[in-house]
Amino acid sequence: MPALNFPDFEAYSNSVDGIDGEMRVTGHGDGPWLLNVLELGELTLLHGMDGAPVLYRGAPHEGRFGAYLSLPGSQTELDGQRVGDDGFTWLAPRVELQGFTRVPATFLAIDFTERVLLEQAAEIEGLDVNTLYRTRNIVTTTAMVGHISALVQRAFEVREARPDAFAENGPRQAFVAQLTSAVLQCHQRAAAEPCVARRGRPPLPRREIVRRGVEHIQRSLRGEAAFSDIPFAVGASQRSLNRAFDDLFGMAPHHFYLIERLHAIRSALRSAKPGDTVTGICSRFGVWDLGRMAAQYARMFHLQPAQELARAVGAKPAAGVAGTGRRR
């Protein structure tokens, strides 16, 4: 997956924009120094492989934030804590971070501009924005961090298969919003963790959980909320959500959301107007991976989205030609 092969660690470390830092090799390593970079405007993705164990010290530039995810086997410690598969290290502007790796490490990193981060943070109810300006280790769950990792790696795969996949604003902005929201949800989860247990609070009935969940999913499809906010919007744990949806629908909330989104896209395609595009319509619903969506759409409806759009637009008579009468 990495695309750039550097002759030494100095060239490797100097290639990362948005951060001032120093890297020192601390052990033997004959491996390559590899880096793959995906620029998405106000967000940059990096997948890196160190060629040796290193010592690091640095800080993001003013107005830039970062998330560092250590991949399995890396043995990375930042600010005195091991970066595990249930968390990541958060880097705030101009706040210095120290760390080291015991073996040649592999990692994923995300660089955010302040504007895109705060814009998405405003969509998450109850998030304390002040905490974003502190460099610290964010510990949540393996599933939440794994979701972020999967999004980043999928973006690289999509770019490799289709180099122009993120050229249009719609898919690019949809992906940036989805990934940024996933990272911020980890911040909120980490902040709420000490007070998860609440004595004397009766559990919500499962039907009420599902009702609130479906309502939130519909709001997210209209662009009024982020799907990832669903546990906070419903007021239930992810485990309770999963159980309730499985009892009543035989599937997890995310699967339910994907099905609802496919149907919403189908409805929009069928009511499309001349000049509408599949990319434009899908981006309204936060879809950026058009290839995967098209495959899911075809499996469900036995028709490609482009064919659905062509049918809808082709069935509509051109303006000024339809009808036999004239209106004054």
pLDDT tens-place values along the chain, 328 residues long? 445 777 666 677 776 666 787 777 887 777 888 899 999 999 999 999 998 888 888 899 999 999 999 999 998 988 778 899 999 999 999 998 888 888 999 999 999 999 999 999 998 888 899 999 999 999 999 999 999 999 999 999 999 999 999 999 999 999 999 999 999 999 988 887 654 444 445 578 888 898 899 999 999 998 888 888 898 889 888 899 999 888 888 889 998 899 989 999 999 999 999 999 999 999 999 899 999 999 999 988 889 999 999 999 886 644 433 333 333 3
Buried b vs exposed e over 217-234: b needs ≥16 C-beta within 10 Å?
A: bebbbeeebbbbbbbbbb
DSSP state of 89: E
Q: How far apart are CA 181 and CA 183, in angstroms?
A: 5
Short-list 309, 283, 156, 154, CA closest to 223: 283
Q: How far apart are CA 6 and CA 84, in angstroms?
A: 27
Residues 6+ apart with CB under 8 A from 260: 217, 218, 221
Backbone angles phi, psi at 66, to 5 degrees: -145, 155
